[in-house]
Amino acid sequence: MQSHTPKPTRAEKFAGLSVAIVTPFRDGVIDFPRLREQIDLQAAAGVTCICPVGTTGESPTLSHDEHERVINESIQAAAGRMLVMPGTGSNSTAEAVRLTKHAARAGADAALVVGPYYNRPTQRGMEEHFKALAEAVDIPICVYNIPGRTGRNIEPETIIRLAELPGIAMVKEATGVMDQASQIIGATDLTVLSGDDSMTLPLLSIGGRGVISVVGNLVPADMKALIDAFDAGDLAGARRWHHRLFGLCRDLLGLASNPIPIKAALAMLGRDTGEVRLPLVALEPALVEKLRGVLRAYGLPAT
């Protein structure tokens, strides 16, 4: 068996498994002791990086103070055991700069910056937005492209131009379009990470370097095993992990908008209350039973 040796990328230390962690709530407020427990679990699994206050972390419904405190607490809880790449995006460039500067001051290793949402900037506007961020801080920026949520794709040509800036180091690729990922990987040295759990192995096969995972909240060791098998040249093993995880990824994340189902699953495993903030609401009772079956089918002890 021959190990896989990929071409070097700009932010290789972020290659592997990053986990987009939830923000735990209890009675409407952030449960910081539970947040630290969940970060300890990720450290024990040997993940490369955690990504707090992203989509999975319900950043749209956190106050500015809460957002900054989760960043601070996550960095302190990680305690150097893994990298920390908090979400610092906004549809206001000034706000994104402020949040990203806060993350840098707090000791974050990078910033995960979603494309501006709702106001649908042009591609030139996208470029100027990310350029302002790259020039404002010394930590690397990961461009998070998820047009299904933002309403606007960051075109590959735009990302290729952004790659000329040394501060732009990574892409979280959540378009589901492999041609777009191929174009970026072929034309740049950016570190491209999957933003979709079930697309991890396909993206690795064309030169992607890992995943920012939601399912990793539940089974980080299994997601890590897939990536480790691929990197070791064990393609058959990587495929086995892909097919084992595929049903869990599809059936879990297809039930409702993220993070509703992942929080419900964590509650069934005794690791979260399952609370989400409005306008998100709890999983419907019929879907709760379906989710319980999905977890049990995977071998997780859902109660």
Which positions are annotated as active-site residues?
Answer: 144, 172
**3-state SS string for 144-156:** EECHHHHCCCCCH
Between CA 268 and CA 20 the distance in angstroms is: 19
CA separation for the pair 292, 302 (Å, rounded): 6
Q: Return the percent helix, strand and coil in the chain, to nearest 5.
A: 50, 10, 40
CA–CA separation, 260 and 273 (whole Å): 12
Tell me how crowded residue 135 is: count the other CB atoms within 10 A of its CB: 10
- Residues 215-240 as b/e (b if ≥16 CB within 10 A, e otherwise) read bbbbbbebbbbbbbbbbeebeebbee
CA separation for the pair 165, 278 (Å, rounded): 38
